[in-house]
């Protein structure tokens, strides 16, 4: 049982690494476009849709898709990474108590 959990934890770590690489590639493609157009916003805009709409998207309607793609990738990568870290922690606790 401990061996299976150990290999499962290693698999989750590897998937976390590939997830990181995958989203970096996707995010940097869109980020390059945003930087070239000098579009700036912070994390409060990413997590608050109303603030994003009022302060960023209204000023840059032509790049709306790129901005929303960027924030969507950021949110998705954070939520998946958080879920994998929680899984690793749970498996580690179980492994420790066996």
Instruction: State how far the Cα of 10 lies from the Cα of 88, in Å rounded to an integer.
Output: 9
Reply yes or no on whether the pLDDT at 92 is more than 80. yes
Domain boundaries, the chain: 2-97
Give residue 1's pLDDT band: very low, low, confident or very high (50, 70, 90).
confident
pLDDT digits (tens, 9 = 90+) for 16-74: 888 888 888 888 889 899 999 998 888 888 888 899 988 898 899 999 999 999 999 88
Tokens 């934890």 identify what position? 9
- The confidence score (pLDDT) of residue 42 equals 86
DSSP 3-state helix, strand, coil percentages of the chain (rounded to 5)?
90, 0, 10
């Amino acid at each position: 049982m401990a061996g299976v959990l150990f290999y499962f934890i290693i698999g989750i770590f590897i998937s976390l690494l590939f997830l990181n690489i995958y989203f970096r590639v996707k995010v940097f493609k869109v980020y390059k476009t945003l930087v070239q157009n000098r579009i700036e916003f912070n994390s409060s805009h990413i997590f608050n849709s109303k603030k994003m709409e009022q302060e960023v998207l209204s000023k840059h309607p032509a790049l709306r898709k790129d901005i929303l793609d960027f924030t969507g990738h950021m949110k998705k990568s954070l939520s998946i990474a958080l879920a994998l870290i929680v899984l690793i922690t749970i498996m580690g606790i179980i492994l420790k108590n066996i």
